[in-house]
Structure 1
Amino acid sequence: MELKNTVAVVTGANRGLGRQLATQLLERGAKVYAAARRPETVDLAGVTPLRLDVTDEESIRAAARIASDATLLVNNAGISTATPLIAGGTDAVRLEMETNFFGPLAVTRAFAPVIEGNGGGAVLNVLSVLSWLHPAGLGAYAAAKAAAWALTNAAREELAPRGITVSALHVGYMDTDMAAAIPADQKVDPADVATQALTGLEQGLLEILADDTTRYVKQSLSAAPNAE
């Protein structure tokens, strides 16, 4: 996909990886709608701030009407509540699913006809190494990201006849607010991840693995489950 002159909508673009993606899309010649629940927090010059709460379908529909020239959707917005599935609160588990699975689903459903009407384009879903690796302490997040991986694969098949490719970005810990408690030497630079993601889109990759941990885990999927 040629990113120059692409019209991109990036959710969660006010900080972290989303901000890096928006910045680098601008640098590659794209028009960028920087979407956030509070658009006044978007401080990146050159973008168009866009109100979009992935848990609010009316705000999603309104954003799709405003960004009616979109050809690229980046589903980046997400949360982590560090909630286990059995001992954790059900409300927190549901919030993770609403934000990390139903959110990208709703945004993709709203923007697919927009992208198709503009001649086709692409969707990039920001997933995680935890799409495949499911530690108990992060069970809610892992379950939501695993569901989002399934969403990505199913939507790819469904949207291909409409001229829309669907790609996944998988990554471990990044140096963002979400991973603030993780030691620095275990985190990767979100700017580097953004570069890999956009280069992967330009190369037509359907799955982009952004760090060594993610590549190792993907290669290990055929191993027997750990019984401990």
Structure 2
Amino acid sequence: MIAVVIPAHNEVRRLGRCLSSVTEAARQAMQSGHQVEILVVLDRCTDGSGAVARRHGVHTLEVQAGNVGEARRAGAAWGIERGASWLACTDADSQVPPHWLVSQLACGTDVVCGTVHVQRWQPWHTAALRQLYLSRYQAREGHRHIHGANLGVSAQAYQRIGGFRPLAAHEDVQLVRDLEALGVPISWTARHSVATSSRRDSRAREGFGDYLAGLEAIL
């Protein structure tokens, strides 16, 4: 069984598009014989994110962590308790391609680190910023980027290293580093890139939004 874990903090505007894409990816995986469960971890949500998730017919788990590492950890624990052998992670402001889950499993490794791409640049993002971003991003096989928006890991390997650490930022990077330290095989692939938001009001500090802001600052 595949468990898809999506942390969300007040994502009512973007969560629906995310879940539509994940539902399609789940449909393709189920056509290939896999069972898929989708979970939205509602972390201190005070908006209509829960209602959006329920309209899409997915599972929800409410937590009061205010911490993306704890939210992902809670979601992974939920999936493993339900018998998941594979954990797939994305973010509430992202949209996965239809072959996302099938492609992760086809890699044949215990960990799959995928790439992301900006779905739509905002008017305030200059051509210089876009050029700088693209010059620093390796959208190819063998890249070394780590994104919680496009990450897959076997439940067995995940449990070996104790799972996500309860970090407010870079919990995805730490997870992969812990797995690397154990010598767990990792696929670094660009075959199922995930579209992500280029918004400024990012929910996770030191995440993708802050990375873009940092690039703006050096121009």
Could you say which TM-score interval applies, normalised by the shorter chain? Answer: 0.3 to 0.5
TM-score (norm 1): 0.36
TM-score (norm 2): 0.37
Relative to its length, the structure with more strand (as a share) is 2
Relative to its length, the structure with more helix (as a share) is 1
